[in-house]
A and B are shown apart, each in its own frame.
Chain A
Amino acid sequence: MKKSAVDAVIRGLKRAGVSIVCYLPDSLFKELYPALDADPDIRTIRVTNEGEGAAICGGVFLSGKRAALVMENSGLRASVEPLARMGLGAGIPVVMLMSYRGELGENNWWAIPHGITMEPVLDALRIPYRVVREEEKIERAIADAYSWSYASYYHSAVALGGEVVR
Chain B
Amino acid sequence: MKRFDCMKALAARLKDELVILSLGGSVDEWYNAAPHMREASLFQQQLGCVTPQAFGLAAGLPHRRIVSLDTDGGLLFNLGILATLGNEQPKNLLVVVWDNEQYLSIGGPPTHTAFGRVDLAAIARGAGVEDAYLVRTLDEFDAHCKAGLAAQKPYIVVAKVSGTVQPDIRRKHSDGREDKYIFVRHVEATEGITIMGPSEHN
Contact = CB atoms under 8 A, between A and B. Distances in A.
Interface residues of A, number: 33
A68 to B, nearest CB: 12
Interface stretch (A47-55, A109-117, A133-141): A47-55
A162 interface: no
Interface string B41-54: 01011101100111
Given A62-B60, A90-B177, A91-B177, A47 B44 contact: no
A81 B48 CA distance: 9
B164 interface: no
A56 B177 CA distance: 18
Given A48-B84, A90-B179, A153-B196, A64 B53 contact: no
Interface string A27-67: 00000000000000001011111011001111111111101
Nearest to B79: A48
Q: Chain B CB within 10 Å — which of A60, A62, A67, A91 has the most?
A: A62
Contact of B78 (A43, A52, A85, A151): A52
B27 to A, nearest CB: 13
A134 B195 CA distance: 32
Contacts of A55: 46, 48-49, 52-53, 56, 78
A47 B52 CA distance: 10
Contacts of B193: 64
Interface residues of B, number: 38
A20 B84 contact: no
A92 interface: yes
A52 B46 contact: no
Contact of A63 (B44, B57, B80, B176): B57
Contacts of B87: 46
B53 A62 contact: yes
A146 B60 CA distance: 17
Interface string B80-114: 11011001100000000000000000000000000
Contact of B52 (A20, A59, A63, A64): A59
Interface of A: 20, 22, 43, 45-49, 51-52, 55-65, 67, 81-82, 85-86, 89-92, 150-151, 153
Given A47-B80, A51-B78, A60-B57, 20 more contacts: A20-B59, A46-B84, A48-B81, A52-B80, A55-B56, A55-B78, A56-B56, A56-B84, A59-B52, A59-B59, A61-B56, A62-B42, A62-B56, A63-B60, A65-B59, A65-B60, A85-B46, A89-B45, A89-B177, A91-B177
13 contacts: A55-B46, A59-B20, A59-B58, A60-B56, A61-B195, A62-B60, A63-B59, A65-B59, A85-B45, A90-B179, A90-B180, A91-B180, A150-B196
